[in-house]
Structure 1
């Protein structure tokens, strides 16, 4: 029996990101991801899904890819076409950073995707996950509109709470950082109303920080019983020279001198 493709629902989120509410979410996430990824060092970084959000724009890593079920509309990164995010075409312990923008909450098998990400991350590698916060006005509107079969978000995926996501990551021996929350304005449909509630951004961070409409969770892969003695630069350089093996065809591979 063929496994159901877990990425199909997330495709519908791309067009939604061009709406006023979607643009509001995208701007906040790209700004926060830029701050986080700029300070993560290594050689190989991958964003899984949702090319409409440029999660690796500020990354300093020399090798950056985006894994997607189709060729991305914009040629921002080297693209790898995959059939299923549950079976990533990367060698075990070959990536320094994996970014998952809104993939888990719209996937059929989020646990398997996380297990696969844990497999491809090197020891001390990092994962960054973004998602819609069910404990927020955004989550409340999604739950209410689903009752009338008109969900606010493009697909009626299962929103994952931050404590639940952290539990999943800890079961995979991930050390979880404190979460980042944002988008405190109510889930309005127009840019005009979103701008009227702009004052809630700073107020939300100060007074109700865990009620933002969107969250970002960052974690580091820890390997029990492992101790790093001295810098691991030589080993990482060798890995970078060899490249990251992939079983799927690389699409739109850029010329390094172009």
Structure 2
């Protein structure tokens, strides 16, 4: 399904409208991320890592346009091997979105960054999905609620660093109508962000707390008491018991 979604991004006015805003979101979210390895899963035709300076960067996914073809629910990556992981609408188009997040938690290093986007069901975009049906992308996506996603991330030990909202225009597939509705972007971002068609989440994998177990040290021997010179002479004058 990710391949069909990528085709929609490139081949429709609405897809290009979405792509423009998501590219800006990813550019902001990855610009200050550091480390040694960065991975983007899905939407491989578009470089959402372009503003990042991590030396080793890779794009993997389900389509044949990438060097590594795999399922997001079974990433071919070592545990704790990635500093930055991007999932553009990966949860929307995978049969096991919670497992995808589990894999993200597994492959990320502690303090590693997860950046993802998803469709908001509580929006005009979600309304069109209900009316039109879910036969083709992007309407065939899962459209997960942001509140549910936040709960999953918290259970997996992620701390949300930033939430973003975008695409406030009605989901028309005509460029002229989308242009006319651009006035909705600024007031939407200010007054009703939760009604945006798409949300973006940036989260940090925190190291789970460890309980330190300290050894039971032996009780220290009591310190020797100070004895004055007078007491020492008095003790010397006392008779000593002798055992014959």
TM-score of Structure 1 vs Structure 2, range by shorter chain: 0.7 to 0.9
Cα distance in 2 between the residues matched to 1:35 and 1:28: 11
Q: Which residue among 184, 190, 194 is the counterpart of 1:200?
A: 184
- Is 2:46 the counterpart of 1:53? yes
Map of 1:66-105 to 2, 5 A cutoff? Answer: 66-72=59-65, 79-105=66-92
Going from structure 1 to structure 2, the CA distance change for 1:34 and 1:178 (only over 3 Å counts) comes to closer
Cα distance in 1 between the residues matched to 2:24 and 2:114: 17
Residue deviations 1:123-152 (CA, integer Å, cap 9, x gap): 000101101111111111111111xx655x
- Is 2:131 the counterpart of 1:144? yes
- Is 2:104 the counterpart of 1:117? yes
Q: Which has the larger radius of gyration?
A: 2
Q: Kindly indicate whether the alpha-carbon contact (under 8 Å) linking 2:60 and 2:70 is maintained by their aligned counterparts in 1.
A: no
Q: Which residue among 162, 172, 180 is the counterpart of 2:164?
A: 180
TM-score, length of structure 2 as denominator length: 0.82
TM-score, length of structure 1 as denominator length: 0.77
Q: CA deviation at 1:209?
A: 1.3
Map of 1:212-251 to 2, 5 A cutoff? Answer: 212-225=196-209
Q: CA deviation at 1:155?
A: 5.0
Q: Kindly indicate whether the alpha-carbon contact (under 8 Å) linking 1:105 and 1:158 is maintained by their aligned counterparts in 2.
A: yes
Moved more, 217-226 or 200-209: 217-226
- Is 2:4 the counterpart of 1:12? yes
Cα distance in 1 between the residues matched to 2:135 and 2:81: 42
Structure 1 runs (4+) deviating above 4 angstroms are none
What is the aligned length? Answer: 210
Query: SS where residue 92 of structure 2 aligns?
Result: helix
Q: CA deviation at 1:70?
A: 3.2
RMSD, aligned α-carbons = 1.7
Q: Kindly indicate whether the alpha-carbon contact (under 8 Å) linking 1:53 and 1:101 is maintained by their aligned counterparts in 2.
A: no
Residue deviations 1:188-231 (CA, integer Å, cap 9, x gap): 110000000011111111111111111101111011226xxxxx
Q: Kindly indicate whether the alpha-carbon contact (under 8 Å) linking 1:183 and 1:212 is maintained by their aligned counterparts in 2.
A: yes
- Is 2:117 the counterpart of 1:130? yes
